Structure formats: C-alpha cells, structure tokens
C-alpha cells in the first residue's frame, strides 16, 4: 500500500481555505482513478504545544505502480493544478510505502 500525504501549514484565512478545500479541491481529488481511500484530518495541536500545521490529507493506493499510473490521469493533473493555485505555498507532499514489521 502506498500513502500519498499532503500536509498543509496554517493558511492566512482558514475559512476561505476550508471553503475551497472541501468544496473544490477534495471533490477533484476524490475522482482520481485508483484512489482507494482518502482521509482528511484537521490538526489540533502537537505534544509540544503549538504547531504550524493545519490540515493533513492521506490518500491510499494499492501499490507504487498504481500510484504512478494514477498521477498520469487527467483527474490527478486537475487536482495538482488546483492545489498549486490555492495552496502551493502551504503544502508539503510526501509519498510513503507501507512497511509490515
């Protein structure tokens, strides 16, 4: 299983960010072929107190090959284009592979 994570820093205008994220960006992302599950988490703090992070989205794919194929689709390109337009300076993107220990 591959997990593609988008980690967002706190936006200047959280209400405007949420409006766009939940009404435009998330619906675009959910259409990506091969996406098995999408989990969105609001960051409420850290064990060390304050955090600069606001939101985390974890997107799951069956394998690295499935992820790579999904990223070639028009739906993924539309999601990426929208992401850069509204949150390019706020987002960190990470790709992880599940490790069974």
pLDDT digits (tens, 9 = 90+) for 50-79: 899 999 999 999 999 999 999 999 999 999
| The pLDDT value given to residue 81 | 98
* pTM (two decimals): 0.92
Rounded CA-CA distance 30/38 in Å is 7
The pLDDT score that the predictor gives to residue 49 is: 86
Query: Quick one: tokens of 33?
Result: 């072929």
∠ Cα 78 39 64 (to 5°): 65
pLDDT on residue 101: 60
Q: Under a CB-based contact definition with an 8 Å cutoff, are residues 56 and 8 in contact?
A: yes
Q: Looking at the structure, give the CATH architecture of the domain made up of residues 11-97.
A: 2-Layer Sandwich (3.30)
């Amino acid at each position: 299983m591959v997990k593609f994570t988008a980690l967002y820093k706190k936006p200047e205008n959280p209400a405007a960010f949420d409006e766009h994220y939940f009404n435009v960006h998330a619906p675009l992302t959910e259409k990506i072929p091969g996406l098995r599950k999408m989990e969105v988490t609001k960051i409420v703090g850290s064990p060390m107190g304050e955090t600069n992070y606001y939101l985390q989205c974890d997107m799951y794919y069956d394998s690295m090959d499935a992820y790579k194929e999904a990223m070639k689709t028009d739906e993924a390109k539309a999601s990426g284009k929208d992401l850069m337009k509204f949150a390019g300076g706020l987002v960190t993107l990470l790709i992880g592979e599940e490790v069974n220990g």
